[in-house]
Structure 1
């Protein structure tokens, strides 16, 4: 085909979808956050890339009714900041400090395009954990493993020390993975990448039906790539 005449007025405006542009986000983009420059406004169901989590029904777990509620920055900042300053949490999340530190972390997601949604986990109606549900296939993590379309990732922390070390984490991880697979029919895998040093977290994912797929060097840590396959959901 002959090259186009540079003087012609006929042009083709091509708009690439955010899913494609995300694959070329800067390599130092924070994990689980929106890529810089893609901030159409506060995340809402009309452009949320993981679904309308606010409408997800509670899960009936052995520990009681559990549900995810999207974070409201003004309402929840003090609570999440307190959790981030717990030494056991700060060791791996590295967000200890003033409320502004946590606020920037939340705003990077809330002001993004909906590819990562920060949530509170409510057990019996009481906030007791923090979760990030994100599109792993649109995240910088996708550069470190063979991502598939619609892969959905999970970050979490259990807020209170009394709720740790008694198997509650694995119960809730399984519940959240099931919620994702129930409400995101296009998602075939739920993934996570805990720090390999966080042996309690790795063990919780294994007990929740995830498998250790690989180890990966990601910014700031060596991670255990954990995967829960839809096809094995009722077997593990």
Structure 2
């Protein structure tokens, strides 16, 4: 089952300058390393026929905030950072993965050791890891039991790691960007879906502002969710203003 929430801007009070510098100052990846990682993942994607059309090979996307990459998670490299994010109370309230690193590691291993229907990724913006994503096959997920799914429906989960990046529209911009990446690189996918917790109003709002439409309320085992959908057929009709 997907994690408790596709949290984006939970805890939306903007932080004062430097309030969360630990997530940004000591974790910047050199541009050369980002390029190397992307190239390695691209080569792997080219030889591996996976269920999500090679997420690691989708390449960079230009956003208003800078160049953005989805970089598939490597447990030995990324676990400390992701676990730290999961222990942020605003994140833990919806993802329920607070605790020692083993808790987050178990969640990641279920995806990394699975059949490829869910790919955990770091969102790297201008060389800095700043968000965690799960790109998953919604039609192959237990979620499909709760709505009229279609073949190749692709789901998104997101959390913004740094408090300084929340509450200023960045989640909306990145959701729009990643939904576009899915539609650009998965030609069989007609819809991108998400199921944020109804209690997480900032998350629901971010999806709607990113061009998703409200579809239904669904009762999942661990939450009541707002099912939202981004349709390929309505991609341009529902495209919002790109201003922040």
TM-score bracket, shorter-length normalisation: 0.7 to 0.9
Larger radius of gyration: 1
> How many Å separate the matches in 1 of 2:130 and 2:107?
19
Which stretches in structure 2 are left out of the alignment for 5+ residues? 4-43, 239-244
> Which aligned pairs between 1:22-101 and structure 2 lie closer than 5 A?
30-31=1-2, 45=45, 46-101=48-103
Offset, 1:31: 2.1
Which stretches in structure 1 are left out of the alignment for 5+ residues? 1-29, 33-43
> How many Å separate the matches in 2 of 1:73 and 1:52?
18
Residue matched to 1:209: 211
CA deviations over 1:78-100 (Å, ceiling 9, x no partner): 00000000000000000000000
Does the CA contact (< 8 Å) of 1:47 and 1:114 recur in 2?
no
Normalised to the residue count of structure 2, the TM-score between the two structures is 0.79
* RMSD over equivalenced CA pairs, Å: 1.0
Normalised to the residue count of structure 1, the TM-score between the two structures is 0.82
SS of structure 1 residue aligned to 2:77: helix
Offset, 1:196: 0.2
SS of structure 2 residue aligned to 1:197: coil
**With CA pairs under 8 Å and 6+ residues apart, which has the higher RCO, 1 or 2?**
2
CA deviations over 1:174-202 (Å, ceiling 9, x no partner): 00000000000000000000000000000
Aligned to 2:167, which of 152, 165, 168? 165
Does the CA contact (< 8 Å) of 1:181 and 1:187 recur in 2?
yes
Give the paired residue count: 196
Residue matched to 1:133: 135
